[in-house]
Amino acid sequence: MNDQINRRVAVVGLGAMGGAMAATLRRAGWDVTGFDPSEAARAAASEAGIPTTANIADIAGTPYAVLSLPGASIVESTVPHLLAAPGTVAIIDTTTSEPATSKRMAGLAEAQGAAFVDAPVSGGRDGAASGSLSAFVGATATGLSAAEPVLLALTGGKYSHIGGPGSGNVVKLLNNVLAAANLVSVGEALGVAQAYGIDPAKAAASISDASGGSKVSANMYPNWVLTGTHNSGFSLGLMARDAALAVEVAAQIGENPALLAAVAGRWQDALAVLGPRADFTEIARTVAPALTPAGAPNTENGAANGTAAVA
């Protein structure tokens, strides 16, 4: 990995996560080129010192590529462009995507002598900026070996090889639907505490030190909900999509997780009144609106932000 050619990496998708990962890779000594169809996203990356291109053909055949995209369909349309020229070693897809898509892309890459690994990440923009993300990796042993230098730079070694292609997506979706469930249940519980006249911050802290505790009670509610800031950087639209997709993936193999399906329904309800661009912690505004200074959403004119609700 001391060869300069092998230190070249393209980052496709320069939003909050992709832009932060590009900066992390650059600090780690990688020769980074960013691509995004959005001029604003490219401009933000350029201001952070990341060279960018508006033409995806310019990064075809780059030895390594990191994808940070909105969904599976865009992954599927992007990968063939990256493989259009020889030289690709590994494509690391950090998108929360669909397992079937990852399996197809892994097969496409393998046929051209490259590796494609699904490596959806957790840790948010702070983890992306500090190189401390955790990743759920689906890959063959050969694919994992090819992608490992980039995975190490992004996670500091904090990744789990779940199994073959697609398996990283499955576990990431399950992780997200569990977080979605916890955001609802903690909100309801703290709403009950407040109704009893108990400071919800004290209740959250006490619960977080006990068996009912979680990152949601220890961090998300105290930092983003009780303060009313709701600025995690992850949208309600994406969480609602992930929860629904987790249930859909389960159904594809004949499983019927009834509680998780109910949770996914609660998120669709919140999406309808808050809109996709709301912060995902704003689910509390529909679960227990008295907990947050932001209060209950105004539903008189549809979605609170005036945007049609989409999953």
Q: Which amino acid is at 114?
A: A
Strands 31-35 and 90-93: unpaired
State the catalytic residue, choosing from 103, 172, 202, 215.
Answer: 172
For residue 23, which of 103, 95, 125 has the smallest C-alpha distance? 125
Taking the C-alpha atoms of residue 100 and residue 109, their distance in angstroms, rounded to an integer, is: 14
User: Rg (Cα) of the chain, in Å, rounded?
Assistant: 20
CB 58 within 8 A of CB 108: no
CB 298 within 8 A of CB 281: no
Taking the C-alpha atoms of residue 105 and residue 162, their distance in angstroms, rounded to an integer, is: 17
Q: Which amino acid is at 219?
A: N
Does the annotation mark 172 as catalytic? Answer: yes
Q: Cβ contacts of residue 227 below 8 Å, gap of 6+?
A: 293
What residues are annotated to the active site?
A: 172
